[in-house]
C-alpha cells in the first residue's frame, strides 16, 4: 500500500493539467488535513515537471470538430487563387494577414463584409479565410466553381443520398460559407 504522501503527489501532478482552468482554495479545518498539501506545494511549470505544458505563443483556434472529405489539395489552392480575383476577399486577406488596422482598407469592404470583419468573424489560416460563427469555423468561398463543388459534395455524393434542400443546407453550413449562401 502506498503512503498518503505519494498519493497526494500523484494527485498534484494530475491536477497540474487543469491549472489554467481551475484554482485550488485552501479552507482550513479539522477534517481531511492530508489534503492541505494540495493548496500549499504547487509544482512549477518547468520541463522537469511531469505535467509541464508549454505556453502557446500564438492564440489558438479550438477545434470543435473535424470534417473529413476527399476534396484534393487543388480545391484549397483554387480557393487561395480565387481570393485574388474577388475584391472583398483580397482586401480581407490583406487585413488578416498582417493583422492590419487600416481604416481606409476596412471601409473599402462591402457593408456585409465590413460588419462581419468588425465582429471578428474572419480568421486567416494557411492563406485560407475562415468564417467564424458560434461553434463553427468554416472555409470562405469566392469562386462559383468551388461553390458548385461544395454543393455537389453535400448534395449529390453517394455518401449523402441526394438530401432535401433543408438537409443539404444543414450539412453545408459546416463545410463552407459564401456571402449569399442561403439564396
Structure confidence by residue, pLDDT tens digits, 60-111: 665 555 555 566 778 778 888 888 888 888 888 888 887 777 788 888 888 8
103-112 LR contacts (CB < 8 Å, sep 24+): 112/179
| Structural domain containing residue 104 | 73-177
What does the mean pLDDT of the chain come to? 72
Residue 165 lies in a domain: yes
Residue 62 lies in a domain: no
Q: Which residue has the higher pLDDT, 58 or 51?
A: 51
- Could you tell me if 107 and 134 lie in one domain? yes
Residue-level pLDDT at 58: 60
Residue-level pLDDT at 2: 47
- Could you tell me if 50 and 93 lie in one domain? no
- Could you tell me if 81 and 27 lie in one domain? no
List, edge to edge, every strand of the sheet that includes 128-133.
Answer: 122-125, 128-133, 136-140, 176-177
d(CA 159, CA 161): 6
How many Cα neighbours within 13 Å face the side chain of 128? Answer: 17
Residue 182 lies in a domain: no
- Give 3's pLDDT tier (boundaries 50, 70, 90): low
- Could you tell me if 100 and 167 lie in one domain? yes
Residue 86 lies in a domain: yes
Tell me the per-residue pLDDT of 115-133, one tens digit each, with 9 for 90 and over. Answer: 888 888 888 888 888 878 7
Q: Give the total number of structural domains in the chain.
A: 2
- Give 56's pLDDT tier (boundaries 50, 70, 90): low
Amino acid at each position: 500500500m502506498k503512503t498518503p504522501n505519494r498519493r497526494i503527489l500523484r494527485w498534484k501532478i494530475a491536477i497540474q493539467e487543469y491549472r489554467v482552468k481551475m484554482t485550488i482554495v485552501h479552507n482550513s479545518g479539522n477534517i481531511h488535513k492530508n489534503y492541505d498539501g494540495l493548496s500549499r506545494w504547487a509544482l512549477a511549470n518547468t520541463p522537469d515537471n511531469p505535467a509541464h505544458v508549454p505556453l502557446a505563443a500564438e492564440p489558438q483556434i479550438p477545434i470543435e470538430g473535424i470534417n473529413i472529405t476527399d476534396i484534393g489539395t487543388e480545391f484549397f489552392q483554387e480557393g487561395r487563387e480565387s481570393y485574388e480575383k474577388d475584391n472583398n476577399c483580397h482586401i480581407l486577406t490583406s487585413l488578416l494577414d498582417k493583422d492590419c488596422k487600416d481604416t481606409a482598407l476596412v471601409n473599402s469592404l462591402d457593408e456585409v463584409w465590413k460588419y462581419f470583419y468588425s465582429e471578428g468573424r474572419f480568421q486567416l489560416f494557411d492563406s485560407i479565410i475562415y468564417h467564424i460563427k458560434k461553434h463553427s469555423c468554416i472555409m470562405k468561398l469566392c469562386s462559383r466553381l468551388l461553390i458548385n463543388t461544395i454543393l455537389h459534395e453535400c448534395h449529390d455524393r453517394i455518401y449523402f443520398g441526394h438530401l432535401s434542400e433543408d438537409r443539404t443546407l444543414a450539412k453545408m453550413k459546416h463545410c463552407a460559407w459564401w456571402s449569399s449562401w442561403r439564396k
